[in-house]
Amino acid sequence: MAELLRKDVKLEDTWDLTTIFKTDEDFWAEFKNAEENLKNISNYQNKLANSAKDLLEVLKASEECDLRLSTLYVYAHLKNDQDTTEAKYKEMYSKTYDLYVKNMTEWAFLTPELMEVDEKILDSYLNELDDLKIYKFEIEKINKSRPHVLDKESEKLISMAGSALSASSDIFSALNNTDVDFGEVEDKDGNKLPLNHGTYGQYMESKDRILRENSFRAIYKFYAAHNNTLAATLSGKLKATKYYADTHKYSSTRNSALSNNHIPEEVYDNLVDTVNKNLHVLHKFFRLQKKVLGEEQFRLYDRGVSMIDGEPAKFSWEEARDLVLEAVKPMGETYYNDMKKAFSERWIDVRPNKGKRSGAYSSGGYATNPFILMNYNETLDNVFTLIHELGHSMHSYYTRKNQPQTYGSYSIFVAEVASTCNEALLSNYLYKKFESEGNRDAMLQLLNQDLIGYVGTLYRQVMFAEFEHLIHKTIQEGGVLTAEFLNEKYFDLVKKYHGDALEYDEEIKYEWSRVPHFYYIYYVYQYATGFSAAQALSSLILEDSKNAQIYIDEFLAKGNSNYPIEVLKNAGVDMSKSYPIERAIAEFDKKIDAFEKLYFNK
């Protein structure tokens, strides 16, 4: 079937970007105004310390510039993503991105100048003008970082070293993306198939065990051949981040990374410790998977195979819309009606078309609707993708509706909570629906999908987090990350997390070397904390409708007006404690039992 051209997509299946700019001409007119306005930014330098009035003027001017540029950027990137073959939108996006970067560069003086103002003077300014009081929390966060900010000359020198210090990441990226060559692999019929990062995931889900084994061995043959090089690149990256942490007077790399989001380090330790105490539940899942798949020797390349046979269920766009709306009814009438706006006001670009960016996302700015890009293909997975992105959009919608621009976004630490909470509500609704219909196959398909989610988002990410912290500590304590050390430690963790249900192939010890997230520095743990928080919050919502309003008021509507750990705590989930993680694992355990009972009692 030929790809649909953008001009042939039905209007109701496209997002309405005229709510941002009526026409492209209006966009370009605003672009020129914003471009001209950048020339005035230098007038605000060396001014904010003069008086409370001048401080307010500078902060307001900065916000106005950010608002204008973010609105332009949203329109340009959405226009480009809807059809990347359109040259005029490529140009629009490129020019807007350059202007956006220039705006950030021009305003780069703001935080350093704030740092130079005595803390007591800043506090007196905040108390002097009512209009400045709104910035109190923002200034509080800046003041907290003062011990880790160096003088201008030192910061400049460190900044100048940035390119050299990023070399390890650049080398890894080049080897892992540009220079990678996994060759071809054979399936059970002797057909030669191309192996790359994209097809590897597909092959590992295939029912063809020969294809899975050949793919597994081929991909790790490549990483084994570059074992020492990749150990050196990872070690170089970790040394660079330690350098940044040391020079900015942090106690460790982890302390530096978590401080950026104001996350206490005990949150990290609590996550890893709690999951380690509950590895028996993961081992139980793998024993179930082995039993269902019927493999006498259950191996690492068997883990990705679905436990369900048969054709997956299909859902039209209209059915998907109705399902996700029904699923969020426990959130209350206001939330339900607000989410309906995504469909009635055309926040969503639904169908794939020639040149459209792949995948799905939620995007937008403080002054725009939260738009969603989809490539809807009628699968159950896509229904979950829809409600996931709607979760992001509703988080953004309530934040922008209830917070001033200063706090009109939210921390990466909580970014996946609303989306995953929505998924949990959908899972609960669909299971009850399928159960009432006596649709055993659909119930099993749903349970299988949920179980895979727990394994991949909670347990696997915590395994990564445990490995990441181990290697950072090794560098911190003066140790050396040799290929042999990395291979041994990673292999030990794989065996600890997977238990006795599997037979272990040594190739898995190279897996650490193909995980790009280890170059992001203390990032992956947030997938697991967000997932656990979302499961706990969805349970609270389903238990009592009053909790849904608390969730909206204390979480969705709070944005960056408080520390992320406190925002979650006020909504009912304390991620410094073990109970949210234990609650998520208990739900995982229940779903394992439900699947086993349903599958073997036909």
Domain boundaries, the chain: 6-149
Q: Which residues, in sequence order, are CB contacts of 8 under 8 Å at separation 6+?
A: 353
Mean pLDDT, the chain, integer = 95
Mean pLDDT (whole number) for 301-317:
90
Question: Residue 442 pLDDT more than 90?
Answer: yes
Confidence of residue 312 (pLDDT cuts 50, 70, 90): confident
Mean pLDDT lowest among 177-181, 225-229, 347-351: 177-181
Amino acid (one-letter) located at 227? N
- pLDDT for 310: 78
Residue 309 phi, psi (nearest 5): -100, 175
Angle, alpha carbons 31-36-41 (nearest 5°):
115
Mean pLDDT lowest among 8-22, 56-70, 310-324, 326-340: 310-324
- pLDDT for 355: 93
Supply 425's token pair.
């509500």
**Residue written as token pair 């706006």:** 341
Asked if 111 contacts 42 with a C-beta cutoff of 8 angstroms, the reply is no
Question: Residue 152 pLDDT more than 80?
Answer: no
Asked if 486 contacts 228 with a C-beta cutoff of 8 angstroms, the reply is no
For domain 6-149, give its CATH number from 3.30.1330.10, 3.50.50.60, 3.40.50.920, 1.20.140.70: 1.20.140.70
- pLDDT for 2: 65
Each residue's pLDDT tens digit, 569-578: 999 999 999 9
- pLDDT for 278: 98
- pLDDT for 1: 52
Which helix (H) or strand (E) segment holds residue 373: the answer is strand 371-373
Mean pLDDT (whole number) for 496-510:
97
Confidence of residue 496 (pLDDT cuts 50, 70, 90): very high
Mean pLDDT (whole number) for 254-259:
96
Question: What ranges in 438-563 are assigned the alpha helix state H?
Answer: 440-453, 460-476, 483-498, 525-543, 545-551
Which helix (H) or strand (E) segment holds residue 579: the answer is helix 579-600
Confidence of residue 165 (pLDDT cuts 50, 70, 90): confident
Mean pLDDT (whole number) for 262-286:
97
> Which residues have a catalytic role annotated?
389
Confidence of residue 151 (pLDDT cuts 50, 70, 90): confident
Question: What ranges in 248-316 are assigned the alpha helix state H?
Answer: 253-259, 265-277, 279-293
Alpha-carbon gap, residue 137 to 118, rounded angstroms:
16
Confidence of residue 547 (pLDDT cuts 50, 70, 90): very high
Question: Residue 562 pLDDT more than 80?
Answer: yes
Each residue's pLDDT tens digit, 402-422: 999 999 999 999 999 999 999
Name the nearest CA neighbour of 518 among 567, 566, 475, 468. 468
Query: In Å, what is the CA distance from 456 to each residue of 41, 112, 439, 459, 524?
Result: 46, 41, 26, 6, 11
Claim: this prediction has a pTM higher than 0.85:
yes
Mean pLDDT (whole number) for 444-464:
96
- pLDDT for 153: 82
Per cent of the chain over pLDDT 70 is: 100
- pLDDT for 180: 84
Mean pLDDT (whole number) for 363-384:
96
